[in-house]
């Protein structure tokens, strides 16, 4: 299986020594998923020429907001629509979830709930066939201000938290996104929180302390594998 990573940001130089770049973090996350990871720098305008260039796609997180007037984001939205039309599986992480939502007709806005940082727990609200193993609750590292506030037609929320009601969304067969970061090691998240202390304020220390909480990245990676390997049509 060829898995295309649509990379939507770059790890800052001072943080690469912690866990490497996004490619390395995603590669580590996908250790249990058989296949070849092919990287496309979507942030620099690099996208596959065809939706079937790869067998499945992952859209990474980003410090950008999907509603910014950026051509690379509009091009990425167009590619998401082509992938959905070609029935190729896709999994979005944080910004990746949000760009899938806007590409398919949903709305993303800055949340009035403020920053989502630290480890947050999400409740599964609807069990889907790709949720193997089945879990009623998962916990993931978070770092976001924006949220999906209106779903595209035919999308369904399958996981929700108090801070982020649209935490886990199935946009259609083989099209899934999660607001959390299963690829973030705790040390990397801690470094990001500390670097953004001026923006996070009093949330910073609480978020860093929460990183000692066990997280469910292995479960989410299994779900991702099931999404990629399940029939789309």
Please state the rounded mean pLDDT for residues 147-168.
97
Judged by average pLDDT, the poorest of 8-22, 95-109, 111-125, 199-213 is 8-22
User: Cβ(147)–Cβ(111) under 8 Å?
Assistant: yes
Q: What is the mean pLDDT of the chain?
A: 95
Distances (CA, A) of 117 to 86, 106, 204, 223: 35, 23, 8, 23
Q: Assess whether 164 carries a catalytic annotation.
A: no
Judged by average pLDDT, the poorest of 11-20, 37-46, 89-98, 158-167 is 11-20
> Which of 135, 183, 217, 226 does the annotation list as catalytic?
183
Does 181 have pLDDT greater than 90? yes
> Which of 8, 94, 135, 217 does the annotation list as catalytic?
94
Q: Assess whether 54 carries a catalytic annotation.
A: no
Does 177 have pLDDT greater than 90? yes
pLDDT of residue 34: 84
Does 230 have pLDDT greater than 90? no
pLDDT in tens, 136-157: 999 999 999 999 999 999 999 9
pLDDT in tens, 101-140: 999 999 999 999 999 999 999 999 999 999 999 999 999 9
Does 33 have pLDDT greater than 90? no
Please state the rounded mean pLDDT for residues 157-178.
97
pLDDT of residue 212: 97
**Structure tokens given for 153:** 């037609």
Cβ-based neighbour number of residue 181 at 10 Å:
24
Percent of the chain with pLDDT over 90: 94
pLDDT in tens, 38-60: 999 999 999 999 999 999 999 99
Which is higher by pLDDT, 34 or 209? 209
160 confidence band (pLDDT: 50, 70, 90): very high
pLDDT of residue 233: 57
User: What are the structural domains of the chain?
Assistant: 2-229 (3.40.50.880)
Residue owning tokens 């979507």: 42
231 confidence band (pLDDT: 50, 70, 90): low
Q: Give the dihedral of Cα atoms 187, 212, 157, 27; nearest 10 deg.
A: 30
Q: Assess whether 16 carries a catalytic annotation.
A: no
Distances (CA, A) of 182 to 62, 106, 128, 148, 224: 14, 23, 19, 18, 10
């Amino acid at each position: 299986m060829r898995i295309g990573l649509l990379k939507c940001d770059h790890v800052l130089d001072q943080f690469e020594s912690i866990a490497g770049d996004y490619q390395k973090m995603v590669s580590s996350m996908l250790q249990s998923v058989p296949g070849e990871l092919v990287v496309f720098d979507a942030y620099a305008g690099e996208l596959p020429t065809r939706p079937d260039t790869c067998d499945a796609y992952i859209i990474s997180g980003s410090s950008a907001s999907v509603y910014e007037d950026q051509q690379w984001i509009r091009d990425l939205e167009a590619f998401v629509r082509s992938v959905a039309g070609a029935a190729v599986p896709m999994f979005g992480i944080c910004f990746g979830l949000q760009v899938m939502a806007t590409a398919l007709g949903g709305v993303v806005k800055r949340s009035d709930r403020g920053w989502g940082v630290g480890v947050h727990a999400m409740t599964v609200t609807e069990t889907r066939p790709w949720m193997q193993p089945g879990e009623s609750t998962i916990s993931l590292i978070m770092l976001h201000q924006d949220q999906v506030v209106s779903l595209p037609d035919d999308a369904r929320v399958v996981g929700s938290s108090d801070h982020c009601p649209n935490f886990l969304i199935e946009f259609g067969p083989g099209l899934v996104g999660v607001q959390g970061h299963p690829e973030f090691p705790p040390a990397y998240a801690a470094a990001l929180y500390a670097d953004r202390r001026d923006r996070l304020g009093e949330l910073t220390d609480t978020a860093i302390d929460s990183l000692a909480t066990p997280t469910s990245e292995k479960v989410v990676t299994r779900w991702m594998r099931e999404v990629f390997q399940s029939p789309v049509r």
